[in-house]
Structure 1
């Protein structure tokens, strides 16, 4: 007798809960949707569907890896970000919901006109693609050192049909921009900002599987800010700004870096949880 969707999900929820996965029901539904190549809504509304052997094996294979705390986004190869379906896989940081605050604040300030923006530390391309899709006249330059991330970013740029306006530049931080001679309306970044000593306390999905270089911000988590913020001064247009995501409790320290780099104005933006999450820095 064939197993049904609802039966497999019910069993999976229990096993994931026992493994410490808080989002056990959601994860089970998304893995089932991946196994069936359908939407999560179809999984929810049709628990009576009987699974083929191939579908059952695909689901159970994903479940076993998820029980080992392998990231869901890597399992299904997708992550939703700012309403966009992005490709993700090993070697690339999984886009976080809090980074949507950074995107939202940039769009709010830049509008939909012909702006020029730099995304430093492109990763999967989440920020650059979200900006390009929502700012149809903008030109985005994204820099990235990781070969794995560059490949995924190119796929996401192509997937969302913004390759004509997102220019991907291999290289470290601001260095690839130096020869462009451009002045940017915004320099945007979600840099590594977790203090080295805090890495071991992260959830296994992050600590074990996500790229360390995209997480580790040095002893106090501020290494990249000390390079990026002063370096961006000469890249900005007259009314340009730097927008960065920050970690919990880092606002005051990053503000000091900005002040010491000659910036006069810093605005602190909180996320939906009330945490200081984004700084908008300008001269």
Structure 2
């Protein structure tokens, strides 16, 4: 019996093609796509390497593989990405959650442990940051805001799917959906921060992600500046503001927060040892 269409050989052939196309994770890409085509867990590939795929399964996998070979992100192809151990539905209208953003969650959790009050996530997208915080802080209320209504719907759907009841999402521009006078213990954001001429915008997965969630004016700092200024009216005394930002923006964001009156301004590294998260404390009135 021919084993050409076995799980093992199908994977091997796909990995070779993905390597040739320039994928930086060909083995993982092939495995995720084949699992999706077969509707099976990763363990199936290891347990049944000699299992033969039928014509329908082969056609389904071939279609998925061609999309990946064309550069489309795996997360968009399968409609899901794990973040903070949460399986999140994703869509082309939102950014794909990335591992480095988990640094923002870690720092937020550390600061939240010393305070009480609600938490606000601006530019929530899939709801990744808000839902990670909400699941770790079940007694705190977490709010997520996104400009796009379809992003709000996606984040709300993720909250429902994951049974996270202490998270609510609204649509609108930054603070617009938040009632005046509302104060938060913590405001977090992974806003657009890439300069529009950045060459990375034409490379890799980013080519398929929404530019509105990536690009900002003023050398990528326009949205960070706006949020920093307005957040002062929405932070409770000794409340924290924190951003994910570009690897080369740490100094600029620190200078900005300090100039606006924030205390204890500090930048943290991501897992690749790049500047990635900057925080500032809004002080009590003296």
For residue 264 of structure 1, what is the aligned residue in structure 2?
263
Aligned to 1:174: 175
1:10, 1:190 → 2: CA distance?
37
Moved more, 131-140 or 197-206: 197-206
> 2:242 matched to which residue of 1?
243
d(CA) in 2 for partners of 1:101, 1:74:
23
Q: 1:125 aligns with which of 127, 152, 165?
A: 127
The equivalent residue for 1:4 is 6
3-state SS of 1:243 partner: strand
CA distance, structure 2, for counterparts of residue 39 and residue 203 of structure 1: 30
Which aligned pairs between 1:214-233 and structure 2 lie closer than 5 A?
214-233=213-232
State the 1:202 CA deviation: 4.1
Q: CA deviation at 1:192?
A: 0.7
TM-score (norm 1): 0.94
Q: Once structures 1 and 2 are overlaid, which stretch shifts more, 36-45 or 189-198?
A: 36-45
The structural deviation recorded for 1:249 is: 0.9
Partner Cα distance (1:44, 1:192) in 2 = 40
How far is 1:205 from its partner?
2.0
Aligned to 1:203: 203
What is the TM-score with the length of structure 2 in the denominator?
0.93
Paired with 2:125 and 2:226, the residues of 1 have a C-alpha distance of 18
Structure 1: distance between partners of 2:189 and 2:19: 35
SS state of the match for residue 182, structure 2?
A: coil
Q: Provide closer, same or farther for how the CA distance between residues 91 and 240 of structure 1 changes in structure 2, counting only shifts above 3 A.
A: same
Q: What is the CA–CA distance in structure 1 between the aligned matches of 2:95 and 2:199, rounded to whole Å?
A: 14
Counterpart Cα distance in 1 of 2:115 and 2:138? 8
Matched residues in 1 for 2:71 and 2:114: separation? 40
C-alpha distance in 2, partners of 1:255/1:227? 14
Long gaps (5+) in structure 1 = none
Q: Distance in 2 between matches of 1:134 and 1:106?
A: 11
Are residue 14 (structure 1) and residue 13 (structure 2) matched?
no
Give 1:219 deviation, angstroms: 4.2
Could you say if the C-alpha distance between residues 28 and 112 of structure 1 is closer, same or farther in structure 2, counting changes exceeding 3 Å?
A: farther
Q: Is the 8 A contact 2:111 2:240 kept in 1?
A: no
Matches within 5 A, 1:6-85: 6-85=8-87
